[in-house]
Structure formats: C-alpha cells, structure tokens
Structure 1
C-alpha cells in the first residue's frame, strides 16, 4: 500500500494535479484487501463470490459515495454562498457600513472556530475530560449536544468583536477571517494527511509487535488487533509532522500543485494551462444558453441591479505603471475558507467520509464560477482544467486499486525478495522523477523566452523587440537545421523533438499576440504608430514560425510513415540551402544583438541571391523528376521544402525591411544587455 501511495502521489505532484491522500489510501487498502482475499479464496478452493465475505463492502461503498457526493455539494454551496456574499458586499466591500463587515465576520468566524473545535478538540485527550461549568459533561458530548447554543453564542461574540475591531482599531476584518481560516484548514489537512501518511505503517508495525508478543505462528495469528483503534506514539506524530512541514516549505512540486488551483480560480486573465475539450465546450455552451434564457425571463431592473453588484472597481494608473493584482479578493478568500470549514466540520460531526482536498478544491471552483471569474475569454479553459482534475481523481482511485492489488500479489508470491526488488524500483523511480523534474525546471528558467513590449514609441519598440528578433533567429536556425539533418539521417526522435520545439516557439509568439490588447491600451494618444509597427513585427514572426512548423511537420511525417529516403543530390542541395539560411539567421542575430541596423541594409541585398539559389534547385528537381525520379512522395516532400524555404526567406526579409525603414539613424539603438 505504501509503495503504491508514494509513487502515485509523486506522479500527480509532478503533473501539478491536486489529488487526495484519503482516496488514494482508501482505494489502495481496498485493492490490496481484494487481492489478498482472492489469494486466500484460491488457496482454500472457494469461489469468486466469496470475496464479499472478506471485504466490508457496505463501509467501502459508504466512503466512495460520500466522497463523490461531497464534490457536488462543495461546488454548489461554494457557488451559492459566494454569490450571496458578493451581492451583499460587492467589490467595494471595504467601504461598506461597519455593521455589514461585522455581520460577515460573525458568520465566518463562528463557522471557522466551530470547525476548529470539532476537528481539533475531538481528536485530543481533552475530549474525554468533564467540567462542572458544562454540567459535568464530557467536552466531546457537549460539542455534539449543544451545537445550536455554541453556534449562536459564537456568532454573537464574534459579531461584537468584529464590530469593535472595525470601529475602534480600524482593523480589516477580512484579513482576520483569512488568517483564522487558513489556520483552521491547515489543522484539517495536517490531521487528515498525517493519518494517511503514517496510519498504514504504524498499523503494520503494531500488528508485527502484537504477533511477536503472542508467540504463535504467523499463519495462525489473528489480526483482531486491527478491529480496535490503533494508538499512535506522540513522538512519531511529531516527527511525521515535521517531515510534512519541511516538505511543504521546500517542495517545488507542492507549489506547482497550488499554482494549478490558484490559476483556475484567478479573477483576471492568465496564461491558461489546460486546453479546451469537447465536454468543456458543451458545458460552457449549455451554461451560456441557460444564462441567456434566464435573462429573457427576469426583468431588466433585476438583471441590472445584480450586474452592478459584480462591477469591479477600476484602478487609475499612470501610463507605464503596473499594478500586480492578487488572484482574487479577500471576500472570495474568506468564503473559500469559511465554506470549506463548515462542510468539513458538518461531515466530521456526522461521521461522514469525505476528502478535504476535494472539498477545498471544489469550493474554490464554485466560488470562482459564482464570482464571474470564468468569463467568455477563459471559461472553456477553466472548465477543461476542472474536468481534468476531476478525471485525475477517478484515475487516482483506479490506479490505486489496481496497483496496490498487483504489488500485494507480487509480494505474496515473491516474499522478501519481491519486497526488496519493489523497494529498489520505487526508490529508483522517485530519484528519476526528482532528477527529471529538476532538469525540466532548470531548463524552463534557463531557456530563452520572448519578452513583451512595454515601450510607447517606435524607437523604443525597436530597442525592446531586438532581443526577441535575435532569439527567434537563433532558434529558427536550429529548428531548420535539425529538420534537414533529421530528414537526411531518418532520425525520428530528433524530428519529433524538433516538432515540439517549434510548437513551443509558436506558443510564445501567440503569448505576445495575446498581450497586444494591453500593449495598445498602455499607449499614449501620440503613439499609435508604434502599435502598428509592433503588430507588423508580430505578424512577420508568426509567418516565420508557420513556415518552420510546416517544414518540421512534413519532415516528421515523411520519416514517421517510413517513406523512401531523400536522394543524395536532394540532401546535398537542402544542406546548401541550410548553410545559406544559417548565414542569414546568424548575420541577422548579430545585427540585432549589436544594435547595428546599418548591417540590415547589407543583408537585404542578399535577397535576390537567396531566391535565385532556391529557384535553381527547383529547376534541377523538375529536370530530375522528368528524367529519373520514381518516388512521388520524395518529389512532393522536396518541392514542399524548397517552396516553404523560399517563403521563409521572404518572411525574414520582410521583417528586416520593416526595421530598416522604421529605424531612425539619429537614435543609437542600445546593444543587448545594456
């Protein structure tokens, strides 16, 4: 179970996908139990249907149904509470009357503190203590029997305290709610994940101790000890807790998982990680249609009133100034913590099974939907992300069940040798994942990335975009060379990697195009010409990457389909074009690196020579085709490469011509790095 759990959670953390330790542990235990039951049934000559006698199926189904139900309930209640909170508080919540903030603080803090009592005290030795002040009742019994009295008293106390803090100390009550709520959820996650972390090994160790003391054979020893609560030494709890704290503090994977949830809930536009799928498109389309239908039924006065409550305040900034906004405001943060705390405490009080991860995530997604964070620009991506995460949860359960059962079967038949091999493989996989993840992270940090323009004049844009042009020229040269070399050597891996790299370059240019709206909005009225210049730059860069994408795609397709190799003369001529293009890209890169735009004029004079070189090779191939060529696929590929190379040359020359015409020789362009 633990081998499966560690590998499974590490896999999902590497992907940056939030998943549940509770679900993974439950299904691993279930899978291992089913596998062990089948082994015993096989050894005793029983039937497959006897497996229900070995497994507590009713409890297992209760846990599974409870977890699935909690997902729907958390999303729905989170959305409803956020909608009501926003209607009541709006985005100008800090300017609302003091009693409004006090009332919200009373509700939120009452819910959160009750959750702390339910989750915190009930699990401690103090829960069994009795005091005269509560009529001699045990604390745990008092918490269960006096729920409404505790909540009412807590609401009055926190509302009054919130009002005093707002009035006398001018405190921000929302910050207090977020602080207390964060502590409360940390308490829930720590307790829950800590049990999942050490529960199974502690139970196994104490079972071993019980067997050692009994003095009977292992095959004759009954595991009745596991029917009782397993006491856990405090020292082990402390050590395990410290391991968790250190891991959360230093783990890049943990931050990657957190970023996934934060970006899916982000109020403003961000770089979307997930691609839309058919289901996300259908859900968004259905929701839009339902919204439009609802708008036809409700009076315009109500619609306008509700819309006004969701109107975001505008922040007045000077041109060129940037204001870094948080992912969402304090009202949504408070609602996320409050609703998650309430749901978890209710489930705890009724002893209902649920996953704290699933509840917290789905509450955050529900509040995002209600807060109109998923607009028409981002909804299809965000919904796809949520569906991917939920799909990952089902995958967690399936993989956990199958993998735990498989590993148990291997250990059952292989004994100690199998355990040793499996532990070695597990350590090897963890080390491999750690090394590859670190390499990937360093590569992302180290790689050249295109920079968004911020200037408001043509000369400023020329200066800022020089680095991007230099970057594109360097990468284009490498991409073209790898395509020709991979094609000539039939190197499928190289062509596949090259195809991935050109898509990455294309995505970066798409990011620049997505930023175009903000670039234009940031311009002064006198700087409109700069926006036109920048748009043309992006247009030519897009044309260049489209040509490279086509060249890499047809090269990869040709080799991947196992078509005939290009002939020696064809490869030789393509290498000649590659040398000429490398020279073109290299000289262009140098010109932009040094800010030497006079050299661009010299490069532009090579245009006709480059065209002539490609045209001559086209004529040679026409002659070969008429005389000796026998492969239609080779001929088609070769002509396509030549024509697209000619287009690539034209696109680079158009870009250079634009810079040459717009550059002001009286303004010295700075060199890169200055």
Structure 2
C-alpha cells in the first residue's frame, strides 16, 4: 500500500508538466495579446521577450507556493493519505477543466480553477471525515477550511474584475485625450515623458515589489526599504532621458520599447503569480511525501501540520517549470486560438463578431446609451467637441473591410502600452501581497476597459462585444462551480478505492486530453477550407471572377447538405441530421458575413465600376435565397426525426432520392463550370431548366394524388410538400444566379453593340 503514494507522486509530477502545458496555452493571452494586437513588434521578437520574462519570473513565484499548502484548507486536520488524495484530485480536475476551455477557445482563470479545485476537494474530504466521526457534525466543517484566507483570496479575485476594468478605462481615457488617435507628432514632443512614466511604473512594480516574493529580497532589503521615493524619482529621470535619446537617435517611437518592456514585465508577473497554479500542488505533495517517508508513522496516522511551516523554495524545480512554460509558449497552437477571443473583443475596427447578443448585453448597451445621452445634456458642447476631437479615428481605418481590419493592427501602440502598464502593475501589487490574483481576470478586464474608453465598442459592435465579455465572465463563474463540484466528485471516487480509481481516472484524463488535442488539430486544419471570401476587386470583371469561388463553394456545400438531409431522413439518422443542421448554420453565417461587407465593397469601387455593385448585391441575394431553402430542408428533416414522427413512406423516400439524384447532377455540373471557369457551360445548364422543374412538379402532383387516396399522416404530408416546394425555391434561386452571372459575364467580355450612329462612324 505504501508504494501507492510513490506512484501518486510520480503521477503528480507528470500531471504538473501537463498542467503547465494546458495552463500556459490558456494564459498566454495575458502577456501576448497587447503586443500581438498592436503589431508593434514582430511575432518572433514578442515570443523571445515573453520567454525571457517567463523564465526569470519563475523565481518570483516561490512566495506564493504556500497558497497550495495552507491557503485554502488547514493541513493539520488531514492525514498524509487524505492530503495525497486531495492533491491527486486537484491536478486531475484542473487539467481537464482548463483543457476544456482551451478547446473552446475561451480564456479562463487558472487561479480560480486551482483555488476552487482545492476548496471542493478539501470540503468533500472533510465531510467524509465528519461523516465517519461520532463526535463531529457539519458545524465542524469550518475547522478544516482556512475560511479567512480562502475568503480573502476569492474576494480579491472578484474585486480585481472591477478594479482592473475601471483603472484600465480611466488611464486609457486620459491617455487618448492627451495623445489622440493621431499621436505620431505628440509622441515626438511628449513621448519621452510618457516613456519615462510607463517604464518607471512597469519596472518599479515588477522588480522592486516583485522581489519581495523571492528568497533574494533579504540581501537587498537594507538598500531598498525607506528609499522608494528616491528610487522612483531617479528611475523616472533616467528613463525619461533614455526615452528622449532613443527617439532622437533611432527616429522611432518610444512606444515600441514600452510595449517590449511591458510584455517582458507582464510575462514575468504572470510567471511569478501563476506558476503556483501549475506546480504548487505537486510541490506540496513532494514536501508531504518527504516528511511522511522519514516519520515512520502510517499514512493514516501522520497528520500534515508540517505543511503549515515554511518550506524551501526549490529554485531548481522552479527553473525547470519555467523552461517547460517557455517551450509550451512557442509550440502551443491552442494558445493562439484563445488569444483570438480577447483580440477580437478589443479590436478598434469592425471584425467578424464571435459572440451573439443576448438580453443582458442588449440591456447593458441600452442603459449605457441612455446614461451617455443624459450626460451630453449636462456637459457643455464646447467640452464635448474638444473631447470628441481627441477620439476622432483616422479616415483610412473607416474604409477597411472586416477581413482587412483583421490583418491590420487590432489597436494602436498607445492602447497596447496602457494595457501592459496597468495589468503589470496590478498583478505585481497582488504578488507582493502574496495573493494569487487571477492574471486572466486582470489582463482581460484591463483590455476590455481600455477598449471601452477608446470607443472601440461603437453602436454597430457594442452589443456583440458586451455579449462576449459577459460570456467570458460567465465562463469564469462556471469554472468556479465546475472546479468545486468536479473536484468534490473526483475525491469521493478516489477515496472510495484509491488503488482502483486513481489509475482509471488518470487513464480517462489521458484519453480526454488526446481526444481534445486531435479534435482541435482537425478544426484548425479545416477551419479555412471552403470558407467564403469577400470580394475586394474594384472592377466588374474582377468581381465576376472573384465570385466564382464563392458560387462553386456554396453549390458544393449545398449539394452535400441537401443529400445529407434526404439520406438522414431516409435512414432516420438523427446524428447525421444534427451535424447537417450545424453545417447549414455555418454556411448561412458566412453568406450573412458577405452581405455585411457590402458597405466596404461599394466604398472601395472605382467610379467607372459602380455597376459591379448591382451584380454583387444580386449574387449575394441569390446565395442567401439558396441557403435559406437549404436551411428549411435541413431543419425540417431534423425536427421530423427528432420529434419521432412517422417515417416517410417507401415511395416518398424513393421520389426524394430521385430528386436528390437529379439535383446532385445539376449542382455538380454548376460546380465544375465555376471551378474550371468554363462559362459557356452555364448557357447549356440554363437550357435544361424546365426539365429539372418538371421532375419536382411531377413529384408534387403524385403526392397530391396520394394524399387524396391513401396518405394518413398530416405530418408526413406537410414535410414532404415542404421539402419539394423548398427544392423548387432552391432551383429558382440557383437558376436566377446562373442567369445573372451569365448575363454579367457576357456583358463584361463582349464589345458593346454597334448602334446605327456607330456604324456610320465606323
């Protein structure tokens, strides 16, 4: 039995490595997004700077390791056996929870996850002990939990949401008021002062305050304490002079240096604060095993009061952990997926919104709009005019399409600098107070506060952005609840039979991690495959050729969606129909995104090619008609099977298959014509229009006759007529699209007809 604890320790070590990989994939957004979003530095430079910050910051985390040992529960109330079960539970649950969020591409808090995992596991283990005792009751639960410290940590995490958002918004508002969006000239004049302030703030709180969490602080304590004001003043003067010299010598903006130093500092602060989330529990387990192995007592008799004492920092292990974090940062693809969420929510220009608006987001936007309107009555018009002038965006940004804006910087270097400066300072303050503040909470809410102050959430995007923020915050609360309940369930199962349940749960963890990795990899590879592209050409001929890919794409995917709907209906295959419904939703969304881009398309057209707008608008209209018909067919089929209605009769299925065969042949010919640019085939296809419609009309007539004589199911009749009528609408939209394309293509390549006057001149 004793060997099981050694195996647990080995498993915890492996889980620690996995937790670092999963955790960094989630938390890389904390220190990368500002630099990536502003595109002030190359991605390689950003990664190198962040890697150095992570590696050095690993040493800073030693002061926070006690949170895992005694911050949530009272270790003296548990024996070694129980503590090891708690630690094993926490690591398993933490990894699965974080990987779940990474796979979804949503940032969550590793701090919230570890805190509530510890709390859930400790509470359930305490309840098990109380249940087995004759003298204790539920009222004694407080003896097992460090309620004061736990409440302090949890309240600090929640409070950080409000503080980070508010400070980020205030600092950004004043920064934008001073520098405006046209900040190039002002940075030349005042950039040295801004650089001095930013660099002093970042480096003072990162290094001076951060040093208090390390074992090296005692050696420097005499030089630092009592001299803080002098250090800040000297730092400000030094960094201001260095900023001035940098701008004069290189002719570059000091904001580049601020962003580089801020990324380094934030990565360092992240590593110092969050490393405890990944290896704090395994290190506490190692110290527990070390103390128990030399005690000579049995695992169930050896109480863990030793964890309440100060433990060695293990710098070597911290450096190894830092190295694993750096490697993960460079190679994790999930980190990039999670980063996209925060960047899209804080993007200054329009983008493809990831979240759908909800009742709460609409209410918040409406309430804020009413408040803003009320304030405009109070504030003098002259003041409003001056403030609005500072927030006036460059005209060039207004003409970018959504796809172009995604390629452009998400926000400028002023906002990136504020994000890094404010987040770094707040996290460093928490680190010196030995509070495991959620770096995800802080960096995310600072970014949201600065984007709000920067008016990135305009009337056209606010409801989507607010919905996104609410989704992420809701995800944090879900993390807390899921971590508490999940850890409680897992510790109950492990405690039931450790020798059996531990390997089973470890195997399940490995299976789920591998499955999620393969699923994410598959999605990443197929994400851009067959996706629709916005037209960017400024001439009619160019738009015609650009549209061919979209038409071929919709026809190809529509053909598959139609066939799957009919086959799923024939086989009563609910899984196929459900998957098919998702495919048509995706296609419909892409077509809607093309329509949303019409404003930018028309704005960018040449004066001589305005006629291209009519063609493009008509094409998008027909594509939307096609997807709407496919949507009805797919969803009606799914609804029929999902509601367990009667299966369609053999003749009905047979006739639908005949229609599907004819339609499949037609759509394949259309796809081939557009893919090969064989536009002469379009005319031949149009000539067969009547034959296709005739096939569908015959089936409708047959069903009318069946309904009068033998059909007994109203639901079947409704579904069958609905499918055939929508098929007719699908064919009409398809043929109208072909005709529009055929006419426009002919007009763009054939010379204008000679009029009688032209003939005389000729």
| TM-score bracket relative to the smaller structure | over 0.9
What secondary structure does 2:627 align onto? helix
Q: For residue 222 of structure 2, what is the aligned residue in structure 1?
A: 138
Q: For residue 134 of structure 1, what is the aligned residue in structure 2?
A: none
Query: Is the 1:22–1:355 contact (alpha carbons within 8 Å) kept by the matching residues of 2?
Result: yes
Of 302, 308, 332 in structure 1, the residue corresponding to residue 415 of structure 2 is: 332
- Report the Cα distance in structure 2 between the residues aligned to 1:270 and 1:261, rounded to whole angstroms: 12
Q: For residue 183 of structure 2, what is the aligned residue in structure 1?
A: 93
How much has 1:352 moved relative to structure 2? 4.7
Q: For residue 757 of structure 2, what is the aligned residue in structure 1?
A: none
Q: For structure 1, which segment, 622-631 or 447-456, has the greater mean C-alpha deviation from structure 2 after superposition?
A: 447-456
Query: Is the 1:37–1:54 contact (alpha carbons within 8 Å) kept by the matching residues of 2?
Result: yes
What secondary structure does 1:451 align onto? coil
**Matches of residues 3-82 of structure 1 in structure 2 within 5 Å?**
3-45=92-134, 46-82=136-172
Is 1:121 the equivalent of 2:211? yes
Instruction: Count residues with an aligned counterpart.
Output: 658
- Report the Cα distance in structure 1 between the residues aligned to 2:644 and 2:399, rounded to whole angstroms: 59
- Report the Cα distance in structure 2 between the residues aligned to 1:469 and 1:596, rounded to whole angstroms: 14
How much has 1:598 moved relative to structure 2? 2.1
**Matches of residues 489-504 of structure 1 in structure 2 within 5 Å?**
489-504=571-586
Is 1:633 the equivalent of 2:706? no
Listed one character per residue, the Cα deviations across residues 393-437 of structure 1 (whole Å, up to 9, x for unaligned) are: 111111111111222222222122221111111111111111121
Identify if the C-alpha distance between structure 1 residues 461 and 277 changes in structure 2 by more than 3 Å, giving closer, same or farther. Answer: same
**Matches of residues 218-229 of structure 1 in structure 2 within 5 Å?**
218-229=299-310
- Report the Cα distance in structure 1 between the residues aligned to 2:191 and 2:246, rounded to whole angstroms: 10
Q: For residue 379 of structure 1, what is the aligned residue in structure 2?
A: 462
Q: For structure 1, which segment, 646-655 or 595-604, has the greater mean C-alpha deviation from structure 2 after superposition?
A: 595-604
- Report the Cα distance in structure 1 between the residues aligned to 2:683 and 2:632, rounded to whole angstroms: 29
Q: For residue 104 of structure 1, what is the aligned residue in structure 2?
A: 194
Identify if the C-alpha distance between structure 1 residues 409 and 316 changes in structure 2 by more than 3 Å, giving closer, same or farther. Answer: closer
Q: For residue 259 of structure 2, what is the aligned residue in structure 1?
A: 178
Is 1:479 the equivalent of 2:569? no
How much has 1:581 moved relative to structure 2? 1.0
- Report the Cα distance in structure 2 between the residues aligned to 1:115 and 1:319, rounded to whole angstroms: 39
Identify if the C-alpha distance between structure 1 residues 421 and 316 changes in structure 2 by more than 3 Å, giving closer, same or farther. Answer: closer
Q: For residue 663 of structure 1, what is the aligned residue in structure 2?
A: 745
**Matches of residues 645-664 of structure 1 in structure 2 within 5 Å?**
645-664=727-746
Listed one character per residue, the Cα deviations across residues 616-667 of structure 1 (whole Å, up to 9, x for unaligned) are: 2222211211112111111111111111111111111111111221223884
- Report the Cα distance in structure 2 between the residues aligned to 1:661 and 1:67, rounded to whole angstroms: 63
Q: For residue 4 of structure 2, what is the aligned residue in structure 1?
A: none
How much has 1:441 moved relative to structure 2? 1.7
Identify if the C-alpha distance between structure 1 residues 466 and 171 changes in structure 2 by more than 3 Å, giving closer, same or farther. Answer: closer
Of 145, 156, 173 in structure 2, the residue corresponding to residue 83 of structure 1 is: 173
Q: For structure 1, which segment, 386-395 or 38-47, has the greater mean C-alpha deviation from structure 2 after superposition?
A: 38-47
**Matches of residues 585-624 of structure 1 in structure 2 within 5 Å?**
585-624=667-706
Is 1:208 the equivalent of 2:289? yes
Q: For structure 1, which segment, 92-101 or 267-276, has the greater mean C-alpha deviation from structure 2 after superposition?
A: 92-101
Identify if the C-alpha distance between structure 1 residues 66 and 591 changes in structure 2 by more than 3 Å, giving closer, same or farther. Answer: same
**Matches of residues 259-658 of structure 1 in structure 2 within 5 Å?**
259-315=340-396, 324-445=407-528, 447-658=529-740
Identify if the C-alpha distance between structure 1 residues 471 and 169 changes in structure 2 by more than 3 Å, giving closer, same or farther. Answer: closer
- Report the Cα distance in structure 1 between the residues aligned to 2:680 and 2:332, rounded to whole angstroms: 50
What secondary structure does 1:129 align onto? helix
TM superposition score normalised by structure 2: 0.83
- Report the Cα distance in structure 2 between the residues aligned to 1:652 and 1:97, rounded to whole angstroms: 56
- Report the Cα distance in structure 2 between the residues aligned to 1:184 and 1:319, rounded to whole angstroms: 33
Query: Is the 2:210–2:432 contact (alpha carbons within 8 Å) kept by the matching residues of 1?
Result: no
- Report the Cα distance in structure 2 between the residues aligned to 1:81 and 1:257, rounded to whole angstroms: 26
Query: Is the 2:93–2:487 contact (alpha carbons within 8 Å) kept by the matching residues of 1?
Result: yes
What secondary structure does 2:294 align onto? helix
Structure 1's unaligned 5+ residue stretches are 131-136, 669-674
Query: Is the 1:118–1:348 contact (alpha carbons within 8 Å) kept by the matching residues of 2?
Result: no
Query: Is the 2:399–2:600 contact (alpha carbons within 8 Å) kept by the matching residues of 1?
Result: no
TM superposition score normalised by structure 1: 0.94
Identify if the C-alpha distance between structure 1 residues 606 and 424 changes in structure 2 by more than 3 Å, giving closer, same or farther. Answer: same
- Report the Cα distance in structure 1 between the residues aligned to 2:184 and 2:489, rounded to whole angstroms: 57
Query: Is the 2:568–2:576 contact (alpha carbons within 8 Å) kept by the matching residues of 1?
Result: yes
Query: Is the 1:107–1:159 contact (alpha carbons within 8 Å) kept by the matching residues of 2?
Result: yes
How much has 1:349 moved relative to structure 2? 4.1
- Report the Cα distance in structure 2 between the residues aligned to 1:318 and 1:266, rounded to whole angstroms: 15
Structure 2's unaligned 5+ residue stretches are 1-89, 751-762
Identify if the C-alpha distance between structure 1 residues 640 and 138 changes in structure 2 by more than 3 Å, giving closer, same or farther. Answer: same
Is 1:197 the equivalent of 2:197? no
- Report the Cα distance in structure 2 between the residues aligned to 1:665 and 1:100, rounded to whole angstroms: 58
- Report the Cα distance in structure 1 between the residues aligned to 2:643 and 2:284, rounded to whole angstroms: 55
Is 1:258 the equivalent of 2:339? yes
- Report the Cα distance in structure 1 between the residues aligned to 2:397 and 2:333, rounded to whole angstroms: 36
Identify if the C-alpha distance between structure 1 residues 549 and 460 changes in structure 2 by more than 3 Å, giving closer, same or farther. Answer: same
- Report the Cα distance in structure 1 between the residues aligned to 2:269 and 2:344, rounded to whole angstroms: 23
- Report the Cα distance in structure 1 between the residues aligned to 2:503 and 2:216, rounded to whole angstroms: 42
Identify if the C-alpha distance between structure 1 residues 498 and 98 changes in structure 2 by more than 3 Å, giving closer, same or farther. Answer: closer
How much has 1:335 moved relative to structure 2? 0.4
- Report the Cα distance in structure 2 between the residues aligned to 1:275 and 1:146, rounded to whole angstroms: 52
Query: Is the 2:343–2:410 contact (alpha carbons within 8 Å) kept by the matching residues of 1?
Result: yes
- Report the Cα distance in structure 1 between the residues aligned to 2:526 and 2:592, rounded to whole angstroms: 21
Listed one character per residue, the Cα deviations across residues 584-629 of structure 1 (whole Å, up to 9, x for unaligned) are: 1122112222222222222112222222222222222112111121
Query: Is the 2:591–2:624 contact (alpha carbons within 8 Å) kept by the matching residues of 1?
Result: yes
What secondary structure does 2:442 align onto? helix
